Amino acid sequence: VANELTLREIADAVGGTVVGNPDRRISGLQPLDLAGPEHLSFLHNPRYAAQAQSSEAGAVIVASADMLAGRDLLVCPEPYLAMARALELVHPPRPLRPGVHASAWVDPTASVADDAEVGPFVTVGEGAAVGERSRIDAGCVIGAHAAVGSECHLHPRVVVEERCRVGDRCILHAGVVIGSDGYGFATSGGIHHKVPQVGVAVIEDDVELGANVCVDRGTLGQTRVGRGTKVDNLVQIAHNVSVGEGCLLVAQVGISGSSRLGDHVVLGGQAGVVGHVVIGARSRISARAVVAKSVPEDAWVTGNPARPHREWLRANANLARVDKLRQRVEVLEAALADKRGE
C-alpha cells in the first residue's frame, strides 16, 4: 500500500531540491540501516554521516548538500518536516469510504455528513453530529448532542460523552474517553456525595489524543484541550483543566482539576500537575516532575516537587557530596582532637 513517485515529484511536493538523479523512483521510506535502492532515507544528524555513506538507500533527505557526497539527495531546510510530508505522499491513508455501515446505529435525530464514514457497531446518539469527511471507526460511541467536526479520524472504540465537542481535523486513538465525569465529591459525615458534573469537554481543532486518554467534563463550564495540542497515550486530564494551544503532553501525564496550561507547554512522560495551578506559556516540565505550584512562562522545571532544572541538578549533586563532606568533618574532628591533645 505504497505509492511510487520520482524523487523530483517528492521534492516538488515537500518544497525541496534534488541533487543527483531526479527520476529515481521511490516506493518507501526507511531508516539508513534498513533502506534499499527503492527507498528514501534521511540524515538529520551529521553524527550518522558514516552510516549514510554505507547505507543502500536510493536517496537521502538532508539539510544541506555538503552533508553527504555521491548520493541522490533531497535537500530541504527542515528535513524532519520533509520526511513527514514524504511519508504522507508515499504511504497515504486509505481513501475514505463515505456512508454508514449497515450495523451502525444512528439516532434519527442525529446528523451525519453524507461524505463521512461510519464503521460497524458505531452509536451516534440523539441530536449528535458528525462532520464532513470524518471517519468514525468500529465501536465508537458519540453521545447525545455531542459533536465531532470535519475531517476527524476517531479510531475504534472512542467515546465522546453527551454534549462534548471535538473540533476539525482531530485524531482520537482507540479507547479515548472524552467527557467522563470529573472527580468531585462533597464529603459529609464520612459519606462522599457526588457533585454532578454538568459541564462539557471541548477538544479544539487539530488536536491528537493517544490511546486510552481520558478527558473529564467540567463540573460547570468546560475542560478544554487547545488547538493543535498533541497528547500521548494514557494521559489523564481532569475537570475544568485548560490546556493551551500547541502543547505536548507525553504518555501517562496527569493534570489535576482546574489547572491551566498556557500555549506551547511541554510535559514530559509521567509528569503530574496538582490542581488549581497555572503553567506559563512555553514552559517545559521534565518527565516525572510533580508541579506543586504555579510555574512562570518560559521556565524549565524538574523533580518532585518541581523546581528550576538547575536547582534540581545542584540538589542532586549535593546529595552525592554528602559522603565527601562527612569525611572532611572527620578530618576536622581528628585535627581538633589532636590540638586538644597538644
- Catalytic residue positions, numbered: 239
Q: Which is nearer to a copy of itself, 131 or 218 (CB)?
A: 218
Instruction: Give yes or no for residue 320 binding a copy of itself (CB under 8 A).
Output: yes
Q: Please work out, in degrees rounded to the nearest 5, the angle formed at the alpha carbon of residue 177 by the alpha carbons of 174 and 178.
A: 125
Neighbouring CB atoms inside 10 A of 309's CB total 17
Binding residue (CB under 8 A) for a copy of itself from 8, 9, 13, 105 = 105
Instruction: Give yes or no for residue 313 binding a copy of itself (CB under 8 A).
Output: no
Instruction: Give yes or no for residue 326 binding a copy of itself (CB under 8 A).
Output: yes
Closest CA relative to residue 302, chosen from 275, 270, 258: 270
Beta-strand relationship, 99-100 and 208-209: unpaired
- The interface region with a copy of itself, picked from 3-11, 18-26, 57-65, 93-101 by CB under 8 A, is 93-101
Binding residue (CB under 8 A) for a copy of itself from 171, 280, 308, 309 = 171
Instruction: Give yes or no for residue 334 binding a copy of itself (CB under 8 A).
Output: no
Neighbouring CB atoms inside 10 A of 234's CB total 17
Q: Which is nearer to a copy of itself, 23 or 298 (CB)?
A: 298
Q: Which is nearer to a copy of itself, 293 or 328 (CB)?
A: 328
Residues of span 55-84 touching a copy of itself by CB under 8 A: 78, 80-81, 83-84
Instruction: Give yes or no for residue 161 binding a copy of itself (CB under 8 A).
Output: yes
Residue 131 identity: G
Instruction: Give yes or no for residue 88 binding a copy of itself (CB under 8 A).
Output: yes
Contacts of 295 (CB under 8 A, 6+ apart): 277, 278, 279, 280, 283, 285, 301, 306
Residues of span 262-301 touching a copy of itself by CB under 8 A: 264, 269-270, 272, 274, 287-288, 290
Least distance between a copy of itself and beta carbon 72 (Å): 19
Least distance between a copy of itself and beta carbon 19 (Å): 21
Binding residue (CB under 8 A) for a copy of itself from 68, 214, 265, 285 = 214
Instruction: Give yes or no for residue 155 binding a copy of itself (CB under 8 A).
Output: yes
Q: Which is nearer to a copy of itself, 72 or 216 (CB)?
A: 216
